Chains A and B, each alone.
Chain A
Amino acid sequence: MKATPSTSWPQRFGTFALLLLALAFVLRSFALFSANALPLQLVLGSSYWPLAAGLLCALIAGVLALRAEWRRAQSGEAQALASLRWGCTALIAGWLGFLFLVDPFQRLWFDLGLGLVAGGYSAFVLLMGILGRRSPRAAFCVDLVSFSLLAGLLGLEVSLRAWAGAYPSPMFARVGGGPSELVQRFRCKPGEVRFGFPCNSAGYYDEEFYRKQPGEPTRVVSIGDSFSVGTVPHAWHYTTLLEEQSALSQERSRLRVDNLGVAGIGPREYLSLLVEEALPLDPDLILISLFVGNDLSVEDVLGDLPDSGLRAWLQRDQVLLAVFPDRVRRLQKEQARLSGRAASQARGAAGGDAQPSMDRSAASQAFPWVLDPLLEEPSLAPETFHNIELGRALEICAQDPPSLQLMKDCLLQAKRAAGDVPLAVMLIPDEFQVEQELWDSISASAKRPLERDRPQRLLMAWFATSGLPVLDLLPVLRDVPPLKDGKRHLYHAFDTHFNARGNEAAAKALHSFLRKLVDAAR
């Protein structure tokens, strides 16, 4: 370090204060580590002792740095006023190291990591002190390069976030890795046969997907949960019926509907699917199917967590520096894959899809209940079914649905991420909202007042101001005349999902709804 006249006491005090603060953080981290030692041995496994050693080294570095700083102050040795800059360098380096090494973010890892960063800062001060005495030029270079590089990376992240805010795009959508993992976990296996129809290579209950080519029919991508996966043969699913109905009408309105359905997912996963898988297909319109029965009462595992401010900067899937390059690679790979498939699909188009799947006639013989709902076998025990429906009614009809705000936020994010691609929503009611007998039974069991249409009332009021076109299936299904036993039979027996009649009613309503949207978009 270049010799300069002795620094003033405030400057030396500043350096001291920072080193003392660093030592305090190290001691705090050590205390935390020791208090949680028992579970950490199990949780960290082989990383336990390296972390312990790291904290010990941080402690030693902190003590030595303080000692060295004290001696320099006593001897009147000149100080370079760079400790604040080194502190920033250490913090940014710690931020990047945390992003690279830790996933997902947890407050405990942050608190322990702060001790390591503080130790790193102390070690850096020691190093610069030694280097400064031996080679001031080298110290200057290390100082300049490290700070410039790290500050540049931080500046890049800030710039990317500012750009994303001003110009929303699927490339910048911070949907999180958690929803993607849930989608991976719950999607069907590629080739898995359901009702005689094999799921495609992406694990969806539909024909193979490919990127839309010029001149092809209007492409609609439908996103949803188990209603989209369906409990009927493929030929009876509402997305398939929608394609058939559009094919019977004028060519202009012909639709191809890609069905991205994954059981057990919710609003955050819909957003993730939209960004990661729907948009690469280059759709003309995206439809999100919301089931009011459970999409409005999901546990917001991400939103309810504390330290949201820290997570926004320390959760890897929230940081654009980490997300953006990976997303560019994956989207390019996906687009190339889908485009490649488009070429082979075009060549084989004349012969139609050569999927070894059960045709409609064979399916109706194998599953006769598609033609007569009275032949349906119950999926759940009646008591279990009743308890599920009662639980849902209590969640969404006795109070404002708990994740209503989450749904709205995710839909708005989806609208932003979709950009120029129109986004539409279909609301699927719960069975108790459609079948009177079930509603009467639930009301009797509820022991508190229930407002049957509460979720639709709240949602439709919001949709009116959101700018999102919406199809509410509740009045549509209530208009379906009941069968001889007085029930509408639109849901599979004791199952909670649409049966063939329900899918048919949904497809008919969707067809006229989407046709208007598509024609308006032209």
Chain B
Amino acid sequence: MRLRLYFFIPALWLFVCASCGKTNAEWESQLTDRDPFVAGVAAIGLSLQDPAGARAAIPVLLATIDRSEVGLQAQAAEALFRVGPQHVDLLLENLVVDELMSFDRLGTIKNTLVGAGPRAVQQIVGCLAGPGRQKAGDLGQVLLEIGEPSVVPLINLLEQAPDNKLKNYAAFLLGNLGPRSRPALPALQRASASEDLELRAAAKRAIAQIQGRTSNG
């Protein structure tokens, strides 16, 4: 009996520990800890436990990616990859606002957006047409990596964008998507008859790329 008691109490403790994890509120309270490691671990924990409810963790994950002394860069990037697709708007906001972000952070955001796939395309194109114009290059790269799901929103951008520069860029991206952009041919043909010289040229180039031709015509 005494022997069983010796092991019963620790076993009970083990059972209690194993069943008690931290709640979302407990993780969130640690996000502002002055120790960046504690904050980083909390952000990762919250992201893994409840990706949809981990919005508050995203800025901490982004900061952790830049903190080499903490040693959680790769884990923060992976956690961001899991939680980011559910919070594309926040990722885009960070991308646009921070003009001097590090390559590591920029790369992670872009990979996460690519990972979000079709879910993110509409928001990315919306950002491109709006506050994200300064980051057109980065957003365009993401759209190209996402691939075919980007075609329809880009067609809409080509036809409805407020200025020709955006339309040019939409034509450029559609051309670079190659044969996957076949549904865009009618819109591109209309654009190739535009009054704007640059848009006409961009549309014709894109049509040639989609049709796999290298000569004009």
Contacts and interface: CB of A to CB of B under 8 A. Distances in A.
Q: Does A associate with B in a complex?
A: yes
Interface of A: 27, 30-31, 33-40, 42-43, 56, 59, 62-63, 66-67, 104, 106-108, 178, 181-182, 185, 301-302, 304-306, 384
Given A107-B35, A305-B35, A39 B67 contact: no
A35 B78 contact: no
Contacts of A384: 99-100
A301 B7 contact: no
From A34, A40, A42, A181, residue with most partner B Cβ within 10 Å: A42
Nearest to B49: A38
Instruction: Specify the main secondary structure of chain A where it touches its partner.
Output: helix
B34 A304 contact: yes
B22 interface: yes
A108 B38 CA distance: 8
B45 A39 contact: yes
Contacts of B38: 107-108
Nearest to B3: A67
Interface in B1-56: 3, 6-7, 10, 13-14, 17-18, 20-22, 34-38, 41-42, 44-45, 48-49
A106 B35 CA distance: 9
A36 B35 contact: no
Nearest to B67: A301
Contacts of A306: 34-35
Nearest to A30: B17
Given A39-B48, A42-B79, A59 B41 contact: no
Given A35-B17, A63-B7, A301-B69, 9 more contacts: A30-B13, A34-B17, A34-B21, A39-B41, A39-B48, A39-B75, A39-B79, A42-B44, A63-B6
Contacts of A40: 41
A494 B100 CA distance: 14
A185 B68 contact: yes
Contacts of B41: 36, 39-40, 43, 108
Nearest to B42: A39
Contacts of B6: 63, 66-67
Contact of A302 (B37, B69, B99): B69
B22 A35 contact: yes
B72 interface: yes
A305 to B, nearest CB: 6
B71 interface: yes
B68 A181 contact: yes
Interface residues of B, number: 33
A59 B68 contact: no
B69 A35 contact: no
Nearest to B79: A42
Interface string B61-74: 00000011111100
Nearest to B44: A39
7 contacts: A38-B49, A43-B41, A67-B6, A104-B69, A106-B37, A181-B68, A182-B68
A31 B17 contact: yes
A31 B13 CA distance: 8
B69 A178 contact: yes
A12 to B, nearest CB: 18
A185 B13 CA distance: 45
Contacts of B22: 35-36
Contacts of A106: 35, 37, 71
B199 to A, nearest CB: 26
Contacts of A62: 10
A44 to B, nearest CB: 9
A182 B44 CA distance: 24
A301 B70 CA distance: 9
Contacts of B7: 63
Contacts of A185: 68
Given A34-B18, A36-B41, A63-B6, A43 B75 contact: yes
B46 to A, nearest CB: 9
Contact of A36 (B18, B36, B45, B75): B45
Contacts of A104: 69-71
A107 B70 CA distance: 12
Contacts of B100: 384
Q: Across chains A and B, which 8 residue pairs bring their CB atoms closest together, nearest first?
A: A34-B17, A39-B45, A39-B44, A178-B69, A106-B37, A39-B41, A38-B48, A38-B45
A108 B42 CA distance: 12
A30 B72 contact: no
Contact of A108 (B37, B49, B68): B37
Nearest to A307: B35
From A34, A107, A108, residue with most partner B Cβ within 10 Å: A34
Contacts of B99: 384
A183 B217 CA distance: 55
Contacts of A178: 68-69
From A106, A185, A306, residue with most partner B Cβ within 10 Å: A106
Contacts of A63: 6-7, 10
A142 B177 CA distance: 72
A182 B66 CA distance: 11
Contacts of B37: 106-108
Interface string B116-145: 000000000000000000000000000000
A31 B14 CA distance: 8
Contacts of A42: 44, 48, 75, 78-79
A322 to B, nearest CB: 17
A302 B7 CA distance: 43
Given A30-B14, A42-B44, A306-B34, A35 B72 contact: no
B21 to A, nearest CB: 6
B55 to A, nearest CB: 17
Nearest to B72: A43
From A62, A66, A67, residue with most partner B Cβ within 10 Å: A67
A39 B45 CA distance: 5
A66 B7 CA distance: 11
Contacts of B35: 106-107, 305-306
Contacts of A37: 21
Nearest to A384: B99
Contacts of B18: 34
A66 B100 CA distance: 59
Nearest to A302: B69
Contacts of A30: 13-14, 17
Contacts of A36: 22, 41, 45
